[in-house]
């Protein structure tokens, strides 16, 4: 899989306000059939109110929503704040860097579509400077070479059917 385009991003750990939106979200996803046996979501704007999240991923940006009313950063991205129930949330980019809080690996028992990827590592990543701990696939190192505290970077990636998702890459 080719490396996604990356946006220049300010160093450091603060959440940056969104730049002007560029590429618009796609209308519809070319989804596999049967879709209900596929774990990846529908990403088009006729299918989800979070289409902007996937459009930004395709630009190399992992982002989420923040509630302007109470300032809380929300994960996963939402359409309504669970605290004050405001529905006008804003998009913010997340830091690229994080550290492993915990990890394991799937050595057996993978779901459909993931059997060929076994063994694969998964983990919880503390993103630098924000109160978010994200779960995801950990690439770049075998699970038995990983350690708690290892630095990892956010890596948006293309699924090959027009859709995008995110994972983390450990430094070699």
Partner 1 sequence: MSGRRVAVVGGVTTKFGLRPATWSELAQEVGAALFRSVPALRAEDVDSLFVGAAEPERFAFQSHAAPIVAEQMGIRPSRILQRTELACASGQSAIRSAYAAIAAGLSDVAVAVGLEKMNLPSMAEANTAMACVMDRAWDGPAGATAPPFFAMVAQRHMREYGTTEEQLAAVSEKNHRFANTNPTAQFYEKTFARDRLMRLPMIAPPLRLGDCSSMTDGAAAVVLAAENVVGRFPDPPAWIRGTGQYSDFHNLANAGSLTEWPGLAHAARTALRGAGISIGDVDFAELHDCFTISEIVEYEALGLCAPGAGGAFAADGRGDVGGDLVVNPRGGLLGCGHPLGATGIAQAVEVFQQFASKVPPARQVPDPEWALVHNLSGSANVHSVMVYGREGAS
Kindly state the smallest distance separating residue 55's Cβ from partner 1, in Å: 16
- CA neighbor of 86 nearest in space, from 96, 102, 71: 71
- By CB under 8 A, tell whether 54 contacts partner 1: no
- CA neighbor of 156 nearest in space, from 49, 60, 14: 60
- By CB under 8 A, tell whether 69 contacts partner 1: no
Residue owning tokens 């596929």? 38
Kindly state the smallest distance separating residue 62's Cβ from partner 1, in Å: 12
Among 108, 160, 171, 172, binds partner 1 (CB under 8 A): 108
What is the residue-wise DSSP string for 45-66?
TTT-TTHHHHHHHHTT--EEEE
Nearer to partner 1, 11 or 125 (CB): 125
Contacting range for partner 1; rule: CB under 8 A; set: 4-12, 14-22, 27-35, 129-137: 129-137
Kindly state the smallest distance separating residue 169's Cβ from partner 1, in Å: 13
For the chain, give the number of residues. 172
Q: Judging by beta carbons within 10 Å of its beta carbon (0-12, 13-18, 19+), is residue 111 exposed, middle or buried?
A: exposed
Phi, psi (5° rounding) for residue 56?
A: -70, -35
Contacting range for partner 1; rule: CB under 8 A; set: 1-9, 22-30, 32-40, 89-97: 32-40
- By CB under 8 A, tell whether 47 contacts partner 1: no
Side by side, the strands of the sheet bearing 90-93 are: 73-74, 63-66, 90-93
Residues 6+ apart with CB under 8 A from 133: 101, 124, 125, 126, 127
Among 10, 34, 111, 160, binds partner 1 (CB under 8 A): 111
- Residues 71-100 within binding reach of partner 1 (CB under 8 A): 75-76
- By CB under 8 A, tell whether 130 contacts partner 1: no
What residues make contact with partner 1 under the rule CB under 8 A? 37, 39-41, 75-76, 101-112, 114-115, 117, 120, 122-124, 132-137, 143-144, 148, 165, 167
């Amino acid at each position: 899989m080719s490396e996604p385009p990356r946006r220049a991003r300010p160093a450091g750990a603060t959440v940056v306000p969104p730049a002007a939106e560029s590429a618009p979200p796609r209308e519809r996803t070319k989804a596999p059939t049967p879709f209900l046996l596929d774990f990846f979501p529908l990403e088009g704007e006729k299918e989800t109110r979070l289409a902007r999240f996937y459009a930004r991923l395709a630009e190399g940006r992992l982002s989420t929503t923040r509630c302007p009313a109470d300032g809380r950063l929300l994960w996963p991205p939402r359409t309504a704040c669970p605290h004050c129930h405001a529905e006008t949330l804003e998009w913010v980019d997340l830091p690229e860097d994080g550290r492993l809080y915990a990890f394991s690996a799937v050595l057996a028992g993978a779901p459909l579509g993931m059997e060929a990827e076994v063994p694969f590592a998964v983990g919880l990543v503390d993103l630098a400077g924000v109160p978010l701990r994200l779960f995801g696939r950990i690439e770049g190192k075998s699970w038995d070479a990983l350690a708690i505290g290892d630095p990892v970077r956010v890596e948006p990636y293309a699924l090959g059917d027009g859709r995008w998702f995110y994972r983390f890459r450990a430094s070699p």
